[in-house]
Amino acid sequence: MAWGSVLLVAVAVMAGMIWLGKMPRKAWELSAAALFLGIAGYAWQGQPSLAGSPKEPVEKLGMFDEDLAKQRDEMGGNFGNARAWLVLADSQSRQGKFATAATALSKGLETFPEDADLWVALGNALVGHSNGLLTPASQFAYQKAATLAPDHPAPPFFLGLALATSGQLQQARAIWGELLERSPPDAEWREDLTTRLATIDALIAQQSGAPAPGMPGSVPTAPTAN
């Protein structure tokens, strides 16, 4: 039944090209050959009786986190003239189009190459495109942002997050620990960062088989000199 439908469609397409599309007679044989060659290929590999199973585009494997976007905005404050590029990139990231978001941010950086927030957003888009993994390109973007704005909390926060999701817990813990030390007591991100550090400590302790700091049986570490 399925193959009969395929053949009927093929005949209808051919007829449409001849009478509706006014195909020249000289092209009839070539077009028919191409059409039925395609049918032969489908007959060889196709399985019309199976249920459809559409796949998501590769770019949609990552996820856009609204809370993290808000966190970035809180850390960045006023974005100035570069704001439009961030809004555009966020709209693409919400659809899972992280590569498109990264392209838009790269365009924005051509106009605003010294904007640390754009570099942070570029790092985030590249991490999203790599499905949460830190790549050399995203690491460069975060480090560029940190160089441009050494006191900006967003570059170390998101670099630490990318390191953590990539499994590099010790490196993430070191970066976040330093960020917490220099964060103002009333910083909006301080509570979230403290929670994330506690989670990192628990994961590190679990991997090493030792209790996390603050848990029964743990040995408190001596404070380091500043």
Residue 218 clears pLDDT 50, i.e. is over it: no
Enumerate residues 6+ apart whose C-beta is below 8 A from 91: none
Percentage of residues in the chain having pLDDT higher than 90: 45
pLDDT tens readout for residues 14-66: 555 555 445 555 554 545 555 554 555 445 444 555 554 443 433 333 445 55
* Alpha-carbon gap, residue 14 to 23, rounded angstroms: 10
Cβ atoms 177, 190 nearer than 8 A:
no
Residue 216 clears pLDDT 60, i.e. is over it: no
CATH of domain 59-208: 1.25.40.10
Most confidently predicted of 77-86, 145-154, 215-224: 145-154
Bigger pLDDT: 169 vs 36: 169
Residue 107 clears pLDDT 80, i.e. is over it: yes
Domain ranges of the chain: 2-45, 59-208
Environment class of residue 38 by beta-carbon count within 10 Å: exposed (0-12), middle (13-18) or buried (19+)?
exposed
The helix (H) or strand (E) run that includes residue 88 is helix 83-94
pLDDT-wise least confident of 84-98, 145-159, 199-213: 199-213
Helix (H/G/I), strand (E/B), else coil: 178: helix
pLDDT-wise least confident of 52-61, 112-121, 210-219: 52-61
pLDDT at 60: 34
Helix (H/G/I), strand (E/B), else coil: 50: coil
Residue 1 clears pLDDT 70, i.e. is over it: no
Q: How many CA atoms lie within 13 A of 145 on its CB side?
A: 26
pLDDT tens readout for residues 120-157: 999 999 999 999 899 999 999 999 999 999 999 999 99
Cβ atoms 87, 101 nearer than 8 A:
no
Structure tokens at 46: 């196709």
- pLDDT confidence bin for 87, thresholds 50/70/90: confident
Residue 197 clears pLDDT 70, i.e. is over it: yes
Cβ atoms 216, 189 nearer than 8 A:
no
pLDDT at 215: 45
